[in-house]
Amino acid sequence: MISQAAELDVPCGTCGAPGADWVVQLVQDGELRWEQDGECAECHAASCDRGAGAPAWIRDAILARHGAYRLTLTDQTVKGAAVLKAFRDALGFSVEEAREAARALRGAGYEGTYVELTLVAGVLNLEAPVSTRDR
């Protein structure tokens, strides 16, 4: 399983005390998923939520914690339709979002989380994404 996690400062939904939740972006059974788990240190109320896709607020927390990664397409024989399908199926992109991502992938590279790009790279049989922090 591929995953990245980040801690978020959030108030308790029950008592309002300051607290922290963990959010995770992961690939499970070939699909992009997310999870959020927390427990209040004051009232001990627990929270847990999960779902498909990549909500922007979780994606933003992962990017803030781990930085962006870049995936590039060096094999120009990969068909455009396959690239569009990879972004649509793996990340749930609209047609226009997939087109923009495909243009970036064939150019300087498409940036996202390690989890997202590892999923897309696997679909397209590409090399693993690289951290933009290393460049």
DSSP secondary structure letter of residue 132: G
Of 110, 24, 131, 20, the residue nearest 67 (C-alpha): 131
What is the strand order of the sheet 110-112 is part of? 110-112, 69-71, 130-131
Per-residue pLDDT tens digits for 1-46: 899 999 999 899 899 999 889 999 999 999 999 999 999 989 999 9
According to the model, what pLDDT value does residue 71 have? 95
Place of tokens 């607290």: 19
**Across residues 69-82, what is the average pLDDT?**
87
According to the model, what pLDDT value does residue 15 have? 94
Task: Tell me how long the chain is.
Answer: 135
Q: Could you state, in order of their start, the residue ranges of all structural domains in the chain?
A: 2-66, 69-134
Residue 50 has pLDDT above 90, yes or no: yes
Question: Integer distance in angstroms from the first to the last C-alpha of the chain?
Answer: 26
